[in-house]
Chains A and B, each alone.
Chain A
Amino acid sequence: MVVKLTDWLDERVGWRSIWDNVFKRKIPYVNWLYTLGSATLLAVINQGVTGILLTIYYVPTPDHAYDSVQYITTQVPAGWMIRGLHHWGASAMVVLSFLHMLRVIFLGSYKYPREVTWFTGVFLFLTTIGFGFTGYLLPWDQKAYWATTVGTQIVAVTPLVGNWLLRVVLGGAELSPLTLTRFYGTHVWILPAALLLLLGIHLYLVISIGISEMPKQRE
């Protein structure tokens, strides 16, 4: 019955060849360090699922941000767990993608013909940093407020346009409700859109080019 159904679908959609190309492709003999990319992907999926769940209760206004986060953590069933997974998953995503990047550098996987994979990876890492920076403000507690106050000052050292850039980032002269909403919008719309696009290209290239072999020692 199930086989019949999957056959029916395969005839029309051709999912089986996609499945085989993604999960049954041949790979060279490599070590466990080559799983760091997949581990990062798992962290990304975790962030996506738990992040969507958090938006069910979180409200990005100064009146409600802190209280709604407290409500999620203490009142909603399993809310502490969803928030915890998102909190720790964020760190995991940064650490894992950084280690993945180191692996690629040390084993030379960024070289021809994988330069585009590498560049999308670099921008994925920057996107991840952006996620971390914007997400840090959202709980709207003292730590979030002052970390963002300090962190945003970094853009002010840009030559010539620094102060103008700082105003753009903050949505005004200082950290305000406008900062909170624009960080929220960036965190849940702009960055996920960028991530999805870059990740799509990244994974497509990983599969279509295939992963690199381990560098060989000279005999």
Chain B
Amino acid sequence: MPDEKVLERKGFLGLVTWAIGGLISLGLGIPAISYLIGPSLQKPEGQDWIRLGSSKKVEFGKPTLFKTTIQRQTGWIVNDEEVSAYIYTEGGREFIAFSNICSHLSCRVRWIDDQDQFFCPCHNAVFDRNGLVVSGPPPRPLDRYQVKIEDDQIYIQGV
């Protein structure tokens, strides 16, 4: 058998050493990568329904501000976070939930009743009762949340 390569003892042991070394590296390397990137890939928060309060407090035709505090966990640290939203309804059936954060530079907008508009004091942005931009620099309407009513309680989702 002149053509057959003879794998002598030394070469074989060298190969086995490389193989074991490779296995150990893989066995540590793959968990190490998942360890490093794992928390970065966790699904974003904002999947829970947040209870704001009774839907009876919402005046028809007038956006009403609701505030509540939720707990958010980042890593091992739990923080209290204030959530606020304007709830608007025409006739008490269909409800809309707006973020009160200006879509321009994240200042807080407020509802001004006698002018029938949302106003942001930072750059004089104005939104109408549907959250659409009337004037000023905002690039898009006020963000909306998913909203549902259960037992007269308002819940929003997507914060």
Contacts and interface: CB of A to CB of B under 8 A. Distances in A.
A binds B: yes
B38 A57 contact: no
Contact of B39 (A50, A53, A75, A85): A75
17 contacts: A53-B35, A57-B75, A68-B75, A70-B76, A71-B75, A71-B76, A75-B39, A75-B76, A76-B39, A77-B31, A77-B34, A78-B32, A78-B34, A78-B38, A81-B31, A81-B35, A85-B28
Interface residues of A, number: 19
Interface string B20-57: 00000000100110111011000000000000000000
A128 B106 CA distance: 53
A49 B28 contact: yes
Given A81-B31, A85-B28, A53 B36 contact: yes
Contacts of A49: 28, 32
Contacts of B75: 57, 68, 71, 75
B45 to A, nearest CB: 14
Contact of A64 (B28, B31, B32, B76): B76
Q: Interface size bucket, B side?
A: 10 to 19
Interface in B39-85: 39, 75-77
Interface in A47-90: 49-50, 53, 56-57, 64, 67-68, 70-71, 75-79, 81-82, 85
Given A67-B76, A68-B76, A70-B76, A53 B32 contact: yes
B38 A77 contact: yes
Contacts of A75: 39, 75-76
